[in-house]
Amino acid sequence: MAGTKKGLLDFEKPLIDLYKKIDELNRLSRHGKIDLSSEIQAVEKRIEQQRKELFADLTPMQTVSIARHVLRPTTLDLVKHIFTDFLELHGDRCFADDPALIGGIAKLEGQSVVIVGHQKGSSTKENIYRRWGMANPDGYRKALRLMQMADNFEKPIITFIDTPGAYPGIEGEERSVAEAIARNLREMSQFEVPIMIVITGEGGSGGALGIGVGDKVLMLEYSIYSVISPEGCASILYRDASKAKEAAESLKITAKDLLELKVIDEIIKEPIGGAHNNIEQTAKNIKAALLKNLSGLKQLSKPELIETRYKKFRSLGIFEELSPL
């Protein structure tokens, strides 16, 4: 079937009537014992075509709504489909275990790797428990502990980013969230193993950067990556959060924009309708991209990895120097 009617977004509402038509045909088929499979297939093709048209020219704010979709696959959803023998590890050996940022060891096509990633929930109760993927300092220190372990044992590091930002609670300030993120940035820049970053949903602010320094930065087609949310930007610049649409246009937060700006290295295609419409295919696409990029990174020596990583981030941004008058 072409996608799903579950969790349709506002701009997908034109599909509702077609899904209602399928429900009616299925009802008639069951109760009237009539074979209407050809008619149902015809409507499904119309849904698929209309969905392609809707997703062919998305606005940045529509992309934001897809990246935040409640059914979008979480890190644990993707890990289950991409890796084998995943063993989750807990705790930062300092204060606590943070459920908003998970990590562990696993195998990618037989090769041992270390995984860390933000973890949202699939229900309101779970999202409250995981704070919608917004990590405290404990989460970033746990991630650093696992990445240091990867570096010590010469295992590639793979991170999955999906967070609005670091958790903005008082406990984060009490336990120095800024220091925890800054330390991760410094340490990740110097690890002697390949590091691959995958932005799967929201890549928000320092909360994303805390596990975002790597040799290759990959991004799902309908994910976003930005220093601030469109609503936050609109509140600051325009004093009006309702102008989030205008802010999203200016921020250049989509995968296409960021690839052109060379902030990311590759866009990973999503199924039509978004990753939540076909998690298995999304996972296959991510796995293929990881294997391809890991193969290339393994050809580099340790000094080459660090030097290439440094140059990659040093080259970000456009500026010019003015001669003194």
Q: For 209-220, what is each residue's pLDDT tens digit?
A: 999 999 999 999
Q: Give dist(CA 295, CA 117) in Å, integer.
A: 22
Mean pLDDT of all residues in the chain? 91
Q: Give the per-residue pLDDT at 1.
A: 45
pLDDT grade for 241, boundaries at 50, 70 and 90: confident
**pTM score:** 0.90
Summarize the confidence of residues 32-43 as an average pLDDT. 74
Q: Give dist(CA 120, CA 70) in Å, integer.
A: 9
Q: Give dist(CA 251, CA 60) in Å, integer.
A: 9
Q: Give the per-residue pLDDT at 153.
A: 97
Q: Give the per-residue pLDDT at 216.
A: 97
Question: What Å distances lie between residue 209 and 95, 225, 248, 252, CA to CA?
Answer: 22, 10, 19, 17
Summarize the confidence of residues 303-310 as an average pLDDT. 96
**Which residues, listed in sequence order, are joined to residue 101 by a DSSP beta bridge?**
118
Q: Give the per-residue pLDDT at 206.
A: 93
Summarize the confidence of residues 196-217 as an average pLDDT. 96
CA angle 164, 254, 191 (to 5 degrees): 65
Query: Which residues, 6+ apart, have CB-to-CB distance to 189 below 8 Å?
Result: 213, 306, 309, 310, 313
pLDDT of 55 > 90? The answer is no
pLDDT grade for 35, boundaries at 50, 70 and 90: confident
* Residue 216 near residue 265, CB atoms below 8 Å: yes
pLDDT grade for 5, boundaries at 50, 70 and 90: low
CB atoms within 10 A of CB 18: 18
Q: Dump pLDDT digits (tens) for 59-113.
A: 999 999 999 999 999 999 999 999 999 999 999 999 999 999 999 999 999 999 9
Q: Which domains does the chain have, with CATH numbers?
A: 14-57 (no CATH), 64-314 (3.90.226.10)
Nearest CA among 224, 248, 213, 196 for reference residue 83: 196
Q: Give the per-residue pLDDT at 257.
A: 94
Q: Produce one character per residue of 39-78: b if its CB has 16 or more CB atoms within 10 Å, e if not.
A: ebeebbeebbeebeebbeebebbbbbbbbbbeebbbbbbb
